[in-house]
């Protein structure tokens, strides 16, 4: 069923995280139905296609090309500052302001990701996507024309808003138009776009500044952004997404009145204060600086406010159950910790190469091509592997192990004495682990959540990854700088205390000063830098182990073919459906049937049954829960809603068709207790959990 049809028939449901409204089952709705409401067409059976929704094959290809092309430009711009900022800061005579260029960009691109998802759910994807492209174009032109430092920093902040929207909306659109079983392939294309964009940005940024001037580094992007805008405007359908303002049955004013305005404000304040606090503390200012303390205090206040607001919001900006219940919670937080490790390594590898190995900035940039190539190639392989095998748990687990191994190798092996050829062999391990780890996680969280929540799921995962990246850089910088002070004091020796203090001062301010030292002090300073980096990488070992702990015991379902079972993302449903059809007429699956079938796989540990028991008790206290009503009377009222918070296995779905079948079977449905006693005899319904 296309997203547009789903939107016309129903409004988004609450899968533990949405409002209780009727909705029809979509491809990624994980309710275990016994009967598909829509029969695949003969064309789909004979010639399966990768796309879905209000789009044809030609338009799908053009839209995909525009998404990948635009994302590559946005990734290019995000890494441009890595090599261009020395020229720009020199032009404005403000070398100490270099950190603000990247900080404000990542601040706005991170903060507004969840807003893009929820707003596009409300007014449609295309208008929000085109707005992001316009902001990206206008702010890039502003960067090139900025007359002073303050104007340039403001332009970079707006550019983060536009580029972040292009990247997040690109992922949302891919989830809208690509069938779940083929999403691994297209996720690999997305990762390839990331590798090309970031690699070209880091490599060409400095060359453009040296050859044509730093303003041309921004002006040169404008023709490509215009081409991207034309492709997107021509290829992006208007009917993608839930489009609540049009399809919810409410007026525009009523729709926007349910928008989570307070949640958006608190989420913006929470992420802004956190990013400012950790970026400025220990790097730009001391941790006791009033601005740092104020930022961290406001972060705590805003975070607590966000928690209580989102618990009651009808359409929450940041769904709390998405982060607190398994398997979604473990998948999300494992990516957060993984991003901390990966970005800590990537951020500090250039420092190792230039300070410890004494390579030039150009050479260190070339070394970084190895991890970028590693993550791109691995992601492509994993995408095809998932599409063929439909198994997400294996690459996910392997990825966390490779990241952990990479952390150990960087901690123990990157010393001043290792041979040069070993460096490009050792540093890509964490990035290769990222290629194994991140793509299947993205697909898993999408498959485990309803179609009308794909935008919020995508942006929430992106938010956690971005926060992990920012925290990785900030925390590792703090560990590095504080360790460096201690090791320089220990390793640097001199008969003259003033000379020792002078050496420590100049090598902390500029690593280029190391080359001008006498051989004795040069060896001492290099040893201090090497020991400090070892302490920084040591932190990665512990954090990467947390990701393993979160992923290893997790039960992740295999993807189900769209053509075999159009209403779920799980394998094994179709055989059961066939058995039921042979036995006689089928009826829609009730919550009690579904949960008992699911409980077969959880009989030993009882986790799911315990969770259902807790919800049953809560429902009993309320007195009007539809499930309890079904258990008592064997029937559902026409306006009742079935709901469950048992992970991401049983989601809310349309109940009117279920009530008709239930009314005809009044009194014949077994009670919950008898279903529990019979669960061991219904093991033929296999969800293929791995």
Q: Examine the pLDDT at 238 and tell me if it is beyond 60.
A: yes
Query: How confident is the model at residue 297, as a pLDDT?
Result: 94
Determine the average pLDDT of the residues in 465-486.
85
Say how many residues make up the chain.
690
Q: Examine the pLDDT at 22 and tell me if it is beyond 50.
A: no
Q: Per CATH, is 329-561 categorized as 1.20.1250.20?
A: yes
pLDDT class of 614 with cuts at 50, 70, 90? low
Q: What angle do CA 332, 81, 210 make, to 5 degrees?
A: 155
| Residue pair 136/163 in contact by the 8 Å Cβ criterion | yes
Highest mean pLDDT, choosing among 213-217, 222-226, 276-280, 644-648: 222-226
Q: Give the number of other CB atoms < 10 A from CB of residue 610.
A: 12
Identify the weakest region by mean pLDDT among 20-29, 172-181, 425-434. 20-29
Q: Examine the pLDDT at 592 and tell me if it is beyond 60.
A: no
Query: How confident is the model at residue 205, as a pLDDT?
Result: 77
pLDDT class of 233 with cuts at 50, 70, 90? very high
Q: How do residues 615-648 score in pLDDT, each as one tens digit?
A: 455 544 444 444 444 443 333 333 333 333 333 3
Identify the weakest region by mean pLDDT among 155-159, 438-442, 511-515, 577-581. 577-581
pLDDT class of 380 with cuts at 50, 70, 90? confident
Query: How confident is the model at residue 542, as a pLDDT?
Result: 92
Identify the weakest region by mean pLDDT among 104-113, 174-183, 410-419, 648-657. 648-657
Q: How do residues 499-508 score in pLDDT, each as one tens digit?
A: 888 988 888 8
Q: How do residues 304-341 score in pLDDT, each as one tens digit?
A: 999 999 888 877 888 888 888 888 999 999 999 999 99
Q: What percent of the chain has pLDDT over 70?
A: 69
Determine the average pLDDT of the residues in 478-482.
84
Task: Evaluate whether 50-240 and 329-561 have a shared fold.
Answer: yes
* Joined tokens for residue 175: 């989830």
CATH homologous superfamily of 50-240: MFS general substrate transporter like domains (1.20.1250.20)
Q: Examine the pLDDT at 673 and tell me if it is beyond 80.
A: no
Q: Give the number of other CB atoms < 10 A from CB of residue 426.
A: 17
Determine the average pLDDT of the residues in 74-85.
80
| Residue pair 292/286 in contact by the 8 Å Cβ criterion | yes
What does the buried/exposed string (b/e) look like for 38-54 if buried means 16 or more CB atoms within 10 Å of the residue's CB?
A: eeeeeeeeeeeebbbbe
pLDDT class of 250 with cuts at 50, 70, 90? low
Specify the 3-state DSSP secondary structure of 51. strand
Query: How confident is the model at residue 593, as a pLDDT?
Result: 42
Q: What are phi and psi of 689, to 5 degrees?
A: -75, 140
The larger pLDDT score, comparing residue 367 to residue 163, is at 163
Q: Give the number of other CB atoms < 10 A from CB of residue 450.
A: 27
At a CB cut-off of 8 Å and minimum separation 6, what does 547 contact?
Answer: 334, 337, 338, 341, 400, 403, 404, 437
At a CB cut-off of 8 Å and minimum separation 6, what does 106 contact?
Answer: 78, 160, 275, 466, 469, 470
Identify the weakest region by mean pLDDT among 86-90, 155-159, 185-189. 86-90
Closest CA to 149 of 78, 106, 100: 100
The torsion angle over the Cα atoms of residues 287, 289, 292 and 296, rounded to 10 degrees, is: 80
The larger pLDDT score, comparing residue 422 to residue 580, is at 422
Q: How do residues 123-150 score in pLDDT, each as one tens digit?
A: 888 999 999 999 999 999 999 999 988 8
| Residue pair 281/478 in contact by the 8 Å Cβ criterion | yes
Query: How confident is the model at residue 653, as a pLDDT?
Result: 38
Closest CA to 353 of 365, 370, 344: 365
Beta bridge partners of 444: none
Determine the average pLDDT of the residues in 222-228.
95
Q: Examine the pLDDT at 28 and tell me if it is beyond 60.
A: no
The torsion angle over the Cα atoms of residues 608, 610, 614 and 616, rounded to 10 degrees, is: 70
**Average pLDDT of the chain, as a whole number:** 74
Sorted by where each begins, the domain ranges of the chain are: 3-48+565-682, 50-240, 261-312, 329-561
pLDDT class of 227 with cuts at 50, 70, 90? very high
Q: Examine the pLDDT at 590 and tell me if it is beyond 80.
A: no
pLDDT class of 677 with cuts at 50, 70, 90? very low
Query: How confident is the model at residue 548, as a pLDDT?
Result: 95
How far apart CA 10 and CA 541 sit, in angstroms, is: 47
Burial class (CB in 10 A: 0-12, 13-18, 19+), 65: middle
Closest CA to 597 of 685, 492, 486: 685
Closest CA to 439 of 285, 331, 363, 547: 331
pLDDT class of 251 with cuts at 50, 70, 90? low
């Amino acid at each position: 069923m296309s997203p547009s049809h789903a939107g016309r028939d129903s409004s988004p449901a609450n899968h533990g995280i949405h409002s209780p409204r009727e909705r029809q089952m979509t491809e990624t709705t994980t309710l275990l139905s016994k009967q598909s409401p829509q029969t695949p067409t003969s064309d789909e059976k004979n010639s399966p296609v990768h796309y879905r929704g209000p789009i044809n094959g030609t338009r799908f290809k053009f839209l995909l090309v525009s998404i990948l092309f635009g994302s590559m430009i946005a990734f290019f711009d995000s890494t441009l500052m890595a090599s261009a900022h020395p020229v720009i800061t020199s032009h404005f005579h403000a070398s100490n302001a270099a950190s603000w260029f990247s900080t404000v960009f990542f601040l706005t691109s991170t903060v507004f990701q969840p807003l893009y998802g929820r707003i596009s759910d409300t007014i449609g994807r295309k208008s929000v996507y085109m707005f992001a492209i316009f902001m990206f174009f206008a702010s890039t032109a502003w960067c090139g024309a900025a007359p002073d430092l303050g104007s340039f920093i403001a332009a970079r902040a707006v550019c983060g808003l536009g580029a972040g929207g292009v990247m997040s909306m690109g992922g949302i659109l891919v989830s809208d138009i690509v069938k779940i079983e083929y999403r691994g392939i297209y996720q690999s294309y997305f990762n390839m776009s990331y590798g090309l964009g970031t690699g070209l940005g880091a490599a060409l940024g400095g060359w453009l500044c040296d050859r044509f001037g730093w303003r041309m580094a921004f002006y040169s992007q404008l023709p490509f952004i215009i081409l991207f805008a034309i492709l997107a405007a021509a290829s992006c359908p208007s009917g993608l997404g839930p489009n609540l303002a049009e399809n919810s049955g409410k007026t525009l004013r009523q729709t926007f009145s349910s928008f989570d305005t307070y949640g958006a404000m608190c989420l913006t304040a929470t992420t802004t204060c956190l990013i400012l606090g950790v970026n400025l503390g220990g790097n730009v200012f001391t941790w006791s600086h009033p601005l740092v303390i104020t930022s961290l205090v406001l972060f705590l206040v805003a975070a607590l406010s966000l928690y209580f607001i989102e618990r009651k919001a009808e359409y929450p900006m940041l769904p709390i159950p998405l982060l607190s219940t398994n398997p979604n919670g473990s998948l999300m937080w494992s990516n957060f910790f993984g991003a901390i490790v990966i970005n800590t390594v990537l951020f500090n590898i250039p420092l190792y190469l230039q300070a410890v190995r004494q390579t030039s900035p150009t050479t260190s940039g070339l070394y970084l091509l190895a991890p970028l190539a590693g993550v791109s190639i691995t992601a492509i392989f994993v995408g095809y592997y998932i599409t063929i095998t439909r198994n997400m748990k294996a690459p996910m687990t392997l990825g966390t192990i490779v990241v952990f191994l990479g952390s150990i190798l960087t901690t123990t092996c990157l010393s001043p004495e290792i041979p040069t050829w070993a460096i490009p062999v050792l540093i890509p391990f964490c990035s290769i682990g990222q290629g194994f780890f991140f793509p299947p996680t993205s697909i898993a969280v999408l498959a485990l959540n309803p179609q009308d929540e794909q935008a919020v799921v995508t942006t929430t995962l992106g938010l956690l990854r971005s926060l992990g990246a920012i925290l990785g850089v900030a925390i590792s910088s703090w560990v590095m700088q504080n360790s460096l002070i201690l090791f320089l004091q220990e390793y640097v020796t001199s008969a003259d205390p003033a000379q020792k203090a002078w050496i420590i001062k100049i090598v902390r301010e500029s690593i280029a000063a190391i080359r001008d030292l006498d051989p004795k002090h040069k060896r001492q300073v290099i040893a201090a830098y090497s020991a400090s980096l070892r302490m920084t990488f040591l932190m990665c070992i512990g954090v990467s182990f947390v990701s393993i702990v979160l992923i290893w015991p997790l039960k992740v379902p295999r993807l189900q073919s769209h053509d075999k079972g159009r209403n779920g993302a799980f394998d094994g449903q179709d055989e059961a459906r066939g058995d039921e059809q042979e036995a006689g007429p089928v009826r829609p699956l009730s919550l009690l049937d579904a949960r008992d079938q699911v409980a077969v796989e959880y009989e030993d540990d009882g986790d799911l049954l315990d969770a259902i028991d807790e919800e049953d008790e809560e429902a009993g206290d309320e007195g009007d829960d539809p499930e309890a009503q079904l258990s008592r009377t064997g029937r559902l009222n026409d306006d009742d809603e079935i709901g469950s918070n048992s992970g991401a296995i049983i989601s809310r779905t349309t109940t009117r068709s279920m009530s008709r079948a239930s009314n005809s079977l009044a009194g014949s449905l077994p009670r919950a207790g008898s279903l529990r006693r019979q669960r061991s005899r219904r093991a033929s319904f296999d969800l293929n959990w791995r």
